[in-house]
């Protein structure tokens, strides 16, 4: 059976009834909106008196913290840590800013760790659309960055990333990212116009890569500011495309993963490695990309390099994020599956309620 044509408008109507494509179109403007909302948000002055930032979250909400931490790493004077799970780290104290990020406000792992944080002297902030998290924060007078955007949590990424970056800036921890946002928004609009559903596959790199990944196992490599983008690609391929996918990070992968290219031999022809590259990466890291490509060729493993766009780290990261979102969307269409629902997660949550 042949898979769908990515140049047929009717295909998108058939397999995307909930309109995931609309969220991809809106991502650039959502970045602008989320940044402005965060600039206008009232932060308590004493929140600057901290020595660490702890982001609580899972899935599409946690990835914003991951990306923010990677973007802030080069200049932040304190650690920014993302906590995925039920347990609050033991180092949480009065010098900690705890940011609980949950799109729905009902993520059970995030709620469990946030409720533990309520028993500490930590400074606290919630990012959510509502749910139990918003109720808990309101009851205790904790600042709430509340937004109203109806979408799967992973499609609301700007609201879990840009506010954290903005708060770090306003607390004096990193430089003002307004110029980077001003560069990133039109750059993303331009990128989207080159890879959206109206651009034919012959001229559309995102559609071409999706074709290449069809019926293959994607493994995504990143480094530095692209390391967490690789995680984003992996999770988007899982949730949008309903496909197996994995990610690895330089330079660590050069100390183990490259040795594993040999067996099982039959996998070599079934894997496609995607290397997420940025011209801003360290020179030695970029050399590792080239040498790793040689090792992949020697092992008979197909690979492709995708470069970030723009001058700022934010534009490099977000251009790679958006490109990956489009690839995962097109791959879902090729698999004739709706990119929006996550039925396996829904089943898991239902079963957990019985436990």
Q: Are 86 and 115 in contact (CB under 8 A)?
A: no
Q: How far is CA 87 from the centre of its chain?
A: 22
Name the CATH superfamily housing domain 41-176: Glucose-6-phosphate isomerase like protein; domain 1 (3.40.50.10490)
239 assigned to active site = yes
Question: What is the rounded distance in angstroms from the CA atom of residue 172 to the CA atom of residue 48?
Answer: 7
- Given a cut of 70, whether residue 107 has pLDDT beyond it is yes
- Given a cut of 70, whether residue 269 has pLDDT beyond it is yes
Stretch 258-284: mean pLDDT:
98
- Per cent of the chain over pLDDT 70 is 100
Stretch 67-88: mean pLDDT:
97
Residues 6+ apart with CB under 8 A from 339: 15, 16, 20, 239, 240, 241, 328, 329, 332, 333
Return phi, psi of residue 182, to 5°: -60, -30
Which residue, among 226, 185, 219, has the nearest Cα to 67 in the 3D structure? 226
Q: Are 105 and 129 in contact (CB under 8 A)?
A: yes
- Given a cut of 90, whether residue 1 has pLDDT beyond it is no
What is the model's pLDDT at position 2?
82
Helix (H) or strand (E) holding 249: strand 246-249
Here the tokens at position 11 are 């295909």
- Given a cut of 90, whether residue 298 has pLDDT beyond it is yes
Question: What is the rounded distance in angstroms from the CA atom of residue 267 to the CA atom of residue 273?
Answer: 12
Other C-beta atoms closer than 10 Å to the C-beta of 296 total 21
18 assigned to active site = no
Delimit the CATH 3.40.50.10490 region(s) of the chain. 41-176, 200-334
pTM score of the predicted model: 0.98
Q: Which of 197, 239, 248, 309 is catalytic?
A: 239
Residue 264, preceding bond cis, omega within 30 degrees?
A: yes
Other C-beta atoms closer than 10 Å to the C-beta of 314 total 24
Stretch 158-179: mean pLDDT:
98
Cα angle value 181/134/239 (rounded, 5°)? 60
Cα torsion 171, 249, 326, 191: sign: positive
- Given a cut of 90, whether residue 355 has pLDDT beyond it is no
Stretch 27-44: mean pLDDT:
98
Q: Which of 42, 119, 139, 255 is catalytic?
A: 255
What is the model's pLDDT at position 337?
98
Residue 304 pairs in a beta bridge with 274
Stretch 282-301: mean pLDDT:
98
308-346 residue pLDDT tens: 999 999 999 999 999 999 999 999 999 999 999 999 999
- Given a cut of 80, whether residue 24 has pLDDT beyond it is yes
215-233 residue pLDDT tens: 999 999 999 999 999 999 9
Could you tell me which CATH number the domain at 200-334 has? Answer: 3.40.50.10490
Q: Which of 13, 87, 252, 349 is catalytic?
A: 349
Question: What is the rounded distance in angstroms from the CA atom of residue 333 to the CA atom of residue 131?
Answer: 32
87 assigned to active site = no
- Between strands 217-222 and 246-249, the pairing is parallel
């Amino acid at each position: 059976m042949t898979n769908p044509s990515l140049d047929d408008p009717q295909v998108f109507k058939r397999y995307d009834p909930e309109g995931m494509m609309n969220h991809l179109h809106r991502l650039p403007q959502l970045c602008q909106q989320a940044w402005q909302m965060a600039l206008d948000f009232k932060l308590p002055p004493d929140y600057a008196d901290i020595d660490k930032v702890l982001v609580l979250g899972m899935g599409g909400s946690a990835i914003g913290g991951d990306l923010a931490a990677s973007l802030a790493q080069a200049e932040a004077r304190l650690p920014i840590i993302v906590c995925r799970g039920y347990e609050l780290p033991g180092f949480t104290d009065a010098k900690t800013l705890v940011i609980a990020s949950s799109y729905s406000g009902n993520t059970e792992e995030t709620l469990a760790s946030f409720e533990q944080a309520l028993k500490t002297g930590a400074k606290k902030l919630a990012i959510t659309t509502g749910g139990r998290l918003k109720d808990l924060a309101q009851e205790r007078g904790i600042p709430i960055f509340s937004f109203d955007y109806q979408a799967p949590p992973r499609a609301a990424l700007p609201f879990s990333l840009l506010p954290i970056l903005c708060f770090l800036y306003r607390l004096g921890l990193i430089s003002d990212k307004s110029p980077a946002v001003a560069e990133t928004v039109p750059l993303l609009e331009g990128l989207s116009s080159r890879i959206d559903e109206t651009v034919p596959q012959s001229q559309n790199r995102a559609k071409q890569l999706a074709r290449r990944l069809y019926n293959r196992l994607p493994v995504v490599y990143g480094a530095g500011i692209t390391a967490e983008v690789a995680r984003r690609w992996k999770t988007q391929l899982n949730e949008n495309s309903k496909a197996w996918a994995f990610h690895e990070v330089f330079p660590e992968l050069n100390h183990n993963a490259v040795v594993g290219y040999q067996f099982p031999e039959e996998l070599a022809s079934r894997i496609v490695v995607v290397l997420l590259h940025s011209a801003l990466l360290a020179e030695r890291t970029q050399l590792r990309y080239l040498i790793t490509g040689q090792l992949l060729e020697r092992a008979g493993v197909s690979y492709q390099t995708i470069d970030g766009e723009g001058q700022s780290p934010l534009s490099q990261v977000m251009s790679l994020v958006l490109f990956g979102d489009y690839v995962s969307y097109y791959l879902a269409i090729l698999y004739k599956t709706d990119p929006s629902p996550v039925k396996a997660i829904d089943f898991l949550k239902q079963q957990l309620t019985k436990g």
